Chains A and B, each alone.
Chain A
Amino acid sequence: MISCQDFIGELGNLLDDDVASEIREQLQAHLAHCNTCQVLYDSTRKTLRIVTESGSFEYPEPIAEPLVSKVMDRIRAGGELGHNDAPES
């Protein structure tokens, strides 16, 4: 029988639907008798649903095209960076 700690360890994979069937069965068996993990699973699943459907931090459509133009203008002008950044990669 798995513990609550084991359950929480697998919770991320369970939410992402990324667990093997035998582990899923063990997790379900744990949920069937552990009210705390049941509430935790249910509320985290709902949190995730609310987050993914919230449209948070969405790219506002009206600024998308002007931003493309600004970037391309700066590139064509051989633009300087706003900050003195070190090269990446």
Chain B
Amino acid sequence: MGFLPEMDDALNTETLSRLKRNFGLAPRVYRAQLLRPDLVDAQVNLLDRLLFTKGALSRLQKEFILLAVSAENNNSYFPALHCQTLQFLGVKPEQSQQVTIDHREANLPESDVVLLDFARKLATEPQAFTVLDVESLRKSSFTDEQILEAVLMVGLTQLLNCIQMGLGTESDFKPRVTFPLKEMNPNAASERQILEPELTGDFVSDDPDLEIVERVRNGETDAFEELVRKHGRRVYRSLVGILGSAEEAEDALQDAFLKAFQHLPNFEARSRFSTWLVRIAINTGLQRLRSRKEVDSLDEENEEFRPRNIQAWTDTPEEFYSREELRRLVEKEVMKLPLKYRVALVLRDLEELSTEEAAAALGLSIPGLKARILRGRLMLRESMVPYFSKAGVSKS
């Protein structure tokens, strides 16, 4: 039994028949709310509109969001219920289960993997959610209407999970997977335990800029100059890596510092000042790209990336080109990378931020950032094969 009585008799027949049509039964979580049948009606209406009816997203995509987000919430009830209903739709329980545990290994199309990455992140790290996350969906060819439905599905799942946990409703079906997943996936659980203290604990107390920040906040405007001098290089590099033009990076740098100055009262020292500043710079750069309407055209690539060109490289590739040629080559090829990989790579490999700092600046989890950097490095490698492979060098 749950914490409150479960009743059948108060259910409005229309609502009952809708539940039965979609679930094959009236799930306990709704029966447990029948002290307020009107609110059950409202929820079932919402389910009907958002989940059961095909919208911009397919029913399956929305069901998978529900599974993935429930898993993030350690909720076993809804995956058990919806794995069952997904069987009506022809989805094997093994696949639903795999989406719950790790959607990346569930044999889904790449765009659905991106969709579920998005959903899991919104559910677990809403404070770290940025326009880059929305861009990731646009780049996988999702429309704004689909993105809206994805956000709403995450919200609906959070609501349902919270209701079930708050009412202590027991499962209608024996769950195939019980959360938390510690026993089933020890790596994921232990990784999370290790990473979180690093993210929250490391930055705050030892920020070398905090003293200057305090002086500026206390009215000493000139002290800000020291911060501009100290961090200009990093801000510039982040911006030129996004915008690709030195001239525009110079303008954007001024805007970024001005914004940082104006918003300094809102800086809460939850991250280093420099991380916060880079984040402002990245947003400034992205806003400029949007005003040039170039964000969408930057990334046509949605396919999974696999290294293709496997040719041995010469031992000392640098010897075949001048330093200036190498610099120009790297800049040209880096600028061809899709935005999300490019920004991650510029911060980590050119600006040499630590993994933790770069992840914080981009609002990504550490595994998320590492995945982007690896992809960026592999794509860059691919583009450089013609210049540095033994065969390529002998032609040049």
* A interface residues (Cβ-Cβ under 8 A, vs B): 8, 11-13, 15-16, 18, 36, 39-40, 42-44, 46-60, 63-64, 67-68, 70-72, 74-76, 79, 81-83, 85, 87-89
Contact = CB atoms under 8 A, between A and B. Distances in A.
Given A47-B384, A54-B330, A83 B255 contact: yes
Interface string B369-385: 01101100110110011
Interface residues of B, number: 67
Given A39-B310, A40-B310, A48-B349, A82 B254 contact: yes
Contact of A39 (B276, B312, B326): B312
B380 A51 contact: yes
Interface of B: 221-222, 224-225, 228-229, 232-233, 236-237, 240-241, 246, 250-251, 253-255, 257-259, 261-263, 266-268, 276, 279-280, 283-284, 287-288, 291, 307, 310-313, 317-318, 323, 326-327, 329-331, 334, 345-346, 349-350, 352, 355, 370-371, 373-374, 377-378, 380-381, 384-385, 388-389
Contacts, number: 155
Given A36-B310, A39-B310, A56-B350, A88 B355 contact: no
12 contacts: A42-B313, A44-B378, A46-B313, A51-B330, A52-B350, A54-B323, A55-B323, A59-B237, A64-B232, A68-B228, A75-B258, A83-B287
Contacts of A51: 330, 334, 345, 349-350, 380
Contacts of B221: 75-76
5 closest residue pairs by CB, A with B:
A12-B374, A54-B330, A59-B233, A47-B381, A56-B330
Given A54-B330, A56-B330, A44 B225 contact: no
Given A50-B330, A89-B276, A83 B288 contact: yes
Nearest to A60: B246
Say what secondary structure dominates the interface of chain A. helix
A58 B328 CA distance: 11
A13 B366 CA distance: 12
Nearest to A44: B381
